[in-house]
C-alpha cells in the first residue's frame, strides 16, 4: 500500500481504498504493494491461510503451528492470568510476558521496604522465585469444531428461544468433552452465532515471579508514551510455571517442580529488518468489526465520551493522593495504570473514528449490501430488513445508553461498592431458612480471600472522594427516572451534598474497615449485612439496573445479535471468494504481517525500530515517567551491549509490525518465519485506536519489545545470565 499517494487519503482515493479493503467493489482500482495484514485467524483452520503465510516468509509447516498429536507452537503459548498472553522460552517452564501483565503480581509481592515494582527483582536460584498467589496460566490442549452439531439442534430458532437452546447446548457439550478430566472446557460462538467451537485448556495454578526490571524500564514513558510510537519501553517480566512431581497441574507446594513443556520458543539473536515476516500467537480479548454504522454512532457520540469523562474523574482524584505520598503511589499504581490505559484508548478510538470517517464508510457498505439483497427475492426475504432492524433497535435503546455506561463506570466503580457486591452470595446463603454450616463456611472462606486482596492496596480517602464525585456526575447527567432511589435520599436528607453522603457512608459501613469486616465474617448474619450502608447502596444500584436498564440492554442485544448474525452470513454469501475471520473473543488466534515503518501524517515518517540512543534522548530525572536507572545510563553511554548489539553497534529496543492485535495480546510472542522469538507485543499505536472496530490498513501497527533488548537487560543489567543459560539462543542471520 506504500504505492498509494498520501495526498489522496482524505479525498476520493480514501473511499476507493476502503471499498477495496472491505471487498465491496467488483473493480479494484488500487493495487497494494503487499497484502493487508488484517485478520485474527483460528489456529485450527490456519491451513486456509498457509499459502499466503508461506509466500510472505513462513518456513514452518501448518502442523508446526497447531497440532493436537505433536508438539507445535500453540503448546508454547499460555493464557496468562486470563487477561494477557505469555510464552514458554525454556525447557524448564520459564514464561516471558509483559511487565504490565505481571504488574499486579509484582505489586502484590512488593512492600515499601522491598519494592520490587520500583527496584526490580531477580531470583538467583529457583528457591528464590516468589509464588504469585492467585496467578495462573492456561495451556490450550485442543480446539473442536461443533458447528454442525449445534446447527442441527437449533434449527430455525430465533431470539430468546435460540439463546436458551444455545445455553443448554453449551452446558451439555462442555460437560461431555470435560468428562472426568480436570480440563477447563469453554464453548465459544463465532460470527455472532454462525459457527461454534469448544476450547479445551489445562490450567496450572502455581506460577512464580522469576525476574522483572525496574519499573522505570518496564513502564518507561508511562502515560505519556502509552499507545505512542516511537517507544523505548522494556515491557517484560519473567515467571515460571510449576507442576506437581507427576508433571500435572497442582496448587502451590514447595515440592512442586518446574514444568517440562511440550514446546518452548527458541530466542533469535538474528534481529529484524524492514519487511521481514512476523507472526503473533496469543489471546486477543475483543473486537467488534462487524458492527453497523448506527451502533458505531452510539459509541462515538454517547458511550465513549461518557467513559472518557468518568475515568478522567477517577484518574485526577487518585493522582492527587498519589502525588502527595510515595506509599500511596505504590498502593494505587496498578489500579491507576489499568484505568488510564483505556481512558486514553477511548480518546484515541473516537479520534480515529472521526479521522477515518468510519461511520460514513459503514453506511456505504450497508447501502451496497442492501442493493445486493434486493436483487433476489430470497435474499430480500432473508437479509432485506437486517440493517433497518438494527437501526430500530439502536433508536429504542438510545435513551438508556448513558445509564448502562454509568452503571459500570460510575455507580459500581468505587472500590467499597465492588467489595460489597461480592458479598451478595453470602447474603443469599444467610437468608435461607436453614443454611448449612458447610455452605456458610465455604462462602466465608472465599470472601476472606477477597477481603485480603481488597485491603492490601486500599486507600479509603481516595475511594471516598471518587464515590462522591462519580455520584454527583451521574446525578447531573442521567435521567431522573433512571436513577436509583438513593439519589432521592441524597436530595432530601443530605440536601444534594454528595461529599457529606459519602462521608457518612464510609463512617458507618463495615466495608470501609478491615477489622470490622473480619469480625463480621467470624460471626456472619443476614441482618447486619443487609443493613450495612454500602451493601444497601450497591443493592439499590444493582436492582435499579436490573429492573430498569438491563431489560432494555438485553432486548437490544438479542435484536442486534440476531441481525448481525444474518448480516455477516449475508456478507460471506455476497463475497464467496473473500476469507472472513471471526471477531476476537479471548480465544487463541494467529495474526501475521511484516516489520514495517509508517507515515502517520503529512511530513511525518516513523522508522520501524528504536534504539537505546532514544532512551538517552528521552531521559529526564525530573519526570517520573522518564527516569532512567543510573546503571542503565552507564551501559548506554559506554555502548556496553554485549552480544545483543546489531552489527552497527546499536542496541535495538522496540520495533513495529503490521500484525493485527488487540487487548489480551499483551505479552504475545512475535515469531519469525522459522518459529523463533524475535520480540513480544505490548501495545498498539495511537493513530489506529479504532482497531477493535475497524482495521486501518494504512496505519495499524503492533508495538513490540525487541527480544535483544530483553536479553540485554537480563544479561548486562540484571546479571542474570543463569536464565539465559536455560534458553536456546540462535545467533547469526
Evaluate the CA torsion angle 28, 190, 669, 679 in order and state its sign: positive
The domain boundary, picked from 568, 594, 621, lies at: 568
- Is residue 293 in some structural domain? no
- Is residue 272 in some structural domain? no
**Is the confidence at residue 31, as pLDDT, over 80?**
no
Evaluate the CA torsion angle 561, 563, 567, 572 in order and state its sign: positive
* pLDDT for the residue 446: 87
Q: Is 235 a catalytic residue?
A: yes
Q: Is 653 in the same domain as 521?
A: no
Q: Which domain holds residue 657?
A: 6-69+580-730
- Is residue 284 in some structural domain? no
**184: helix, coil or strand?**
strand
Poorest-pLDDT segment among 12-21, 388-397, 489-498: 12-21
Residue 328 CB partners (closer than 8 Å, separation 6+): 321, 322, 459, 462
Q: Is 512 in the same domain as 610?
A: no
The arithmetic mean of pLDDT across residues 574-591, rounded, is 95
**Is the confidence at residue 416, as pLDDT, over 60?**
yes
- Is residue 283 in some structural domain? no
Query: 672-689, pLDDT tens digit by residue?
Result: 999 999 999 999 998 998
Percent of the chain scored above 70 by pLDDT?
Answer: 95
State the total domains in the chain. 3
Among the listed residues 90, 666, 668, 696, the single catalytic one is: 666
The arithmetic mean of pLDDT across residues 568-574, rounded, is 96
Tell me how far apart the alpha carbons of residues 469 and 463 are, in angstroms, rounded to a whole number: 10
The domain boundary, picked from 524, 544, 568, lies at: 568
Q: Is 490 in the same domain as 429?
A: yes
- Is residue 719 in some structural domain? yes
**Is the confidence at residue 57, as pLDDT, over 90?**
yes
Q: Is 445 in the same domain as 561?
A: yes
Tell me how far apart the alpha carbons of residues 422 and 451 are, in angstroms, rounded to a whole number: 10
Q: In sequence order, what DSSP letters do the residues of 52-90 get, joined into one string?
A: HHHHHT--S-HHHHS-SSS--GGGGEEEETTTEEEEE-S
Q: Is 550 in the same domain as 597?
A: no
Residue 623 CB partners (closer than 8 Å, separation 6+): none
Query: 516-532, pLDDT tens digit by residue?
Result: 999 999 999 999 999 99
- Is residue 274 in some structural domain? no
Contact 661, 591 (CB under 8 A): yes
**Higher-pLDDT residue of 387, 8:** 387
The arithmetic mean of pLDDT across residues 300-319, rounded, is 95
Among the listed residues 235, 276, 583, 692, the single catalytic one is: 235
Q: Is 335 in the same domain as 203?
A: no
The arithmetic mean of pLDDT across residues 249-274, rounded, is 97
Q: Is 562 in the same domain as 587?
A: no
pTM for this entry? 0.85
Percent of the chain scored above 90 by pLDDT?
Answer: 80
Residue spans of beta strands (DSSP E) within 437-519: none
Poorest-pLDDT segment among 337-341, 365-369, 444-448, 703-707: 337-341
**Is the confidence at residue 386, as pLDDT, over 90?**
yes
Tell me how far apart the alpha carbons of residues 53 and 191 are, in angstroms, rounded to a whole number: 23
Q: Is 100 a catalytic residue?
A: yes
Q: Is 450 in the same domain as 529?
A: yes
**Is the confidence at residue 108, as pLDDT, over 60?**
yes
**Is the confidence at residue 355, as pLDDT, over 90?**
no
Mean pLDDT of the residues in the chain: 91
Among the listed residues 100, 116, 232, 263, the single catalytic one is: 100
The arithmetic mean of pLDDT across residues 269-279, rounded, is 96
Query: 211-257, pLDDT tens digit by residue?
Result: 999 999 999 998 889 889 999 999 999 999 999 999 999 999 999 99
- Is residue 489 in some structural domain? yes
Secondary element (H or E) of residue 669: strand 669-671
Residue spans of beta strands (DSSP E) within 503-603: 589-594, 598-601
Q: Is 467 in the same domain as 405?
A: yes
* pLDDT for the residue 341: 77
Q: Is 533 in the same domain as 426?
A: yes
Q: Is 32 in the same domain as 132?
A: no
For residue 353, report the phi and psi dihedrals to the nearest 5 degrees: -60, -40
* pLDDT for the residue 601: 86
Q: Is 668 a catalytic residue?
A: no
**Is the confidence at residue 660, as pLDDT, over 70?**
yes
Bridge-based pairing state of the strands 702-706 and 277-282:
unpaired
For residue 641, report the phi and psi dihedrals to the nearest 5 degrees: -105, -5
Q: Which of 278, 269, 272, 274 is nearest to 645 (CA)?
A: 269
Which of 99-113, 428-442, 479-493 shows the highest mean pLDDT?
Answer: 479-493
Q: Is 690 in the same domain as 549?
A: no
Amino acid at each position: 500500500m506504500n504505492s498509494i499517494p498520501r495526498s489522496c487519503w482524505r479525498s476520493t482515493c480514501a473511499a476507493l481504498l476502503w471499498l477495496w479493503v472491505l471487498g465491496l467493489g467488483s473493480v479494484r482500482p488500487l493495487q497494494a504493494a503487499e497484502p493487508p495484514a488484517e485478520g485474527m485467524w483460528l489456529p485450527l483452520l490456519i491451513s486456509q491461510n498457509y499459502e499466503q503465510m508461506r509466500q510472505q516468509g513462513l518456513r514452518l509447516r501448518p502442523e508446526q503451528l497447531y497440532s493436537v498429536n505433536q508438539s507445535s507452537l500453540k503448546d508454547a503459548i499460555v493464557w496468562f492470568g486470563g487477561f494477557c498472553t505469555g510464552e514458554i522460552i525454556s525447557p524448564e517452564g520459564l514464561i516471558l510476558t509483559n511487565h504490565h501483565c505481571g504488574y499486579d503480581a509484582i505489586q502484590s509481592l512488593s512492600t515499601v521496604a522491598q519494592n520490587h515494582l520500583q527496584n526490580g527483582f531477580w531470583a538467583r536460584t529457583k528457591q528464590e522465585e516468589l509464588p504469585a498467589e492467585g496467578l495462573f496460566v492456561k495451556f490450550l490442549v485442543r480446539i473442536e469444531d461443533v458447528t454442525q452439531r449445534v446447527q442441527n439442534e437449533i434449527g430455525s430458532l430465533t431470539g430468546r428461544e435460540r439463546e436458551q437452546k444455545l445455553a443448554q447446548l453449551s452446558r451439555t457439550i462442555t460437560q461431555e468433552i470435560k468428562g472426568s478430566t480436570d480440563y477447563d472446557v469453554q464453548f465459544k460462538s463465532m460470527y455472532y452465532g454462525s459457527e461454534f467451537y469448544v476450547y479445551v485448556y489445562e490450567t496450572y495454578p502455581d506460577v512464580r515471579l522469576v525476574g522483572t526490571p525496574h519499573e522505570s524500564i518496564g513502564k518507561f514513558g508511562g502515560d505519556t508514551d502509552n499507545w505512542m510510537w516511537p517507544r523505548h519501553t522494556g515491557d517484560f517480566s519473567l515467571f515460571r510455571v510449576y507442576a506437581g512431581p507427576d508433571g500435572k497441574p497442582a496448587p502451590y507446594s514447595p515440592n512442586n517442580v518446574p514444568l517440562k513443556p511440550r514446546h518452548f520458543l527458541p530466542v533469535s539473536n538474528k534481529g529484524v529488518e524492514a519487511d521481514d515476516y512476523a507472526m503473533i500467537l496469543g489471546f486477543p480479548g475483543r473486537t467488534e468489526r462487524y458492527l453497523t454504522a448506527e451502533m458505531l454512532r452510539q459509541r462515538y457520540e454517547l458511550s465513549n465520551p461518557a467513559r472518557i469523562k468518568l475515568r478522567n474523574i477517577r484518574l485526577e482524584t487518585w493522582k492527587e493522593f498519589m502525588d502527595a505520598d510515595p506509599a500511596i503511589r505504590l498502593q494505587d499504581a496498578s489500579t491507576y495504570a489499568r484505568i488510564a490505559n483505556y481512558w486514553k484508548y477511548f480518546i484515541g478510538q473516537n479520534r480515529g473514528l472521526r479521522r477515518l470517517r468510519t461511520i460514513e464508510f459503514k453506511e456505504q457498505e450497508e447501502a451496497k449490501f442492501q442493493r445486493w439483497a434486493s436483487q433476489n427475492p430470497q435474499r430480500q426475504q432473508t437479509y432485506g430488513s437486517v440493517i433497518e432492524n438494527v437501526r430500530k433497535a439502536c433508536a429504542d435503546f438510545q435513551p438508556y445508553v448513558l445509564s448502562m455506561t454509568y452503571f459500570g463506570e460510575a455507580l459500581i466503580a468505587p472500590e467499597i461498592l465492588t467489595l460489597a457486591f461480592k458479598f451478595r452470595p453470602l447474603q443469599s446463603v444467610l437468608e435461607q431458612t436453614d443454611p448449612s454450616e458447610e455452605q456458610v463456611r465455604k462462602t466465608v472462606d472465599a470472601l476472606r480471600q477477597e477481603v485480603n486482596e481488597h485491603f492490601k492496596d486500599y486507600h479509603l480517602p481516595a475511594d471516598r472522594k471518587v464515590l462522591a464525585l462519580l455520584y454527583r456526575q451521574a446525578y447531573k447527567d442521567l435521567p431522573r427516572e433512571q436513577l436509583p432511589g438513593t439519589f432521592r435520599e441524597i436530595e432530601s436528607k443530605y440536601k444534594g451534598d454528595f461529599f457529606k453522603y459519602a462521608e457518612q457512608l464510609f463512617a458507618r459501613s463495615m466495608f470501609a474497615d478491615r477489622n470490622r469486616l473480619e469480625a463480621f465474617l467470624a460471626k456472619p448474619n443476614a441482618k447486619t449485612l443487609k443493613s450495612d450502608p454500602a451493601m444497601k447502596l450497591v443493592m439499590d444500584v444493582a436492582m435499579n439496573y436490573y429492573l430498569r436498564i438491563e431489560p432494555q440492554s438485553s432486548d437490544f442485544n438479542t435484536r442486534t445479535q440476531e441481525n448481525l448474525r444474518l448480516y455477516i452470513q449475508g456478507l460471506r454469501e455476497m463475497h464467496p471468494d473473500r476469507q472472513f475471520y471471526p471477531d476476537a473473543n479471548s480465544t487463541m488466534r494467529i495474526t501475521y504481517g511484516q516489520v514495517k515503518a509508517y507515515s502517520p501524517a503529512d511530513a511525518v515518517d516513523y522508522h520501524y525500530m528504536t534504539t537505546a540512543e532514544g532512551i538517552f534522548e528521552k531521559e529526564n530525572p525530573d519526570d517520573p515517567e522518564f527516569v532512567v536507572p543510573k546503571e542503565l545510563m552507564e551501559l548506554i553511554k559506554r555502548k556496553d551491549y554485549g552480544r545483543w548489539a546489531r552489527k552497527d553497534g546499536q542496541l535495538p529496543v522496540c520495533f513495529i509490525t503490521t500484525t493485527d492485535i488487540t487487548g489480551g495480546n499483551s505479552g504475545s510472542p512475535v515469531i519469525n518465519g522459522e518459529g523463533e522469538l524475535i520480540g513480544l507485543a505490548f501495545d498498539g499505536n495511537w493513530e489506529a485506536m479504532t482497531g477493535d472496530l475497524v482495521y486501518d490498513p494504512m496505519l495499524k501497527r503492533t508495538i513490540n519489545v525487541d527480544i535483544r533488548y530483553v536479553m540485554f537487560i537480563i544479561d548486562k543489567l540484571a546479571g542474570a545470565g543463569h536464565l539465559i543459560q536455560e534458553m536456546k539462543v540462535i545467533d547469526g542471520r
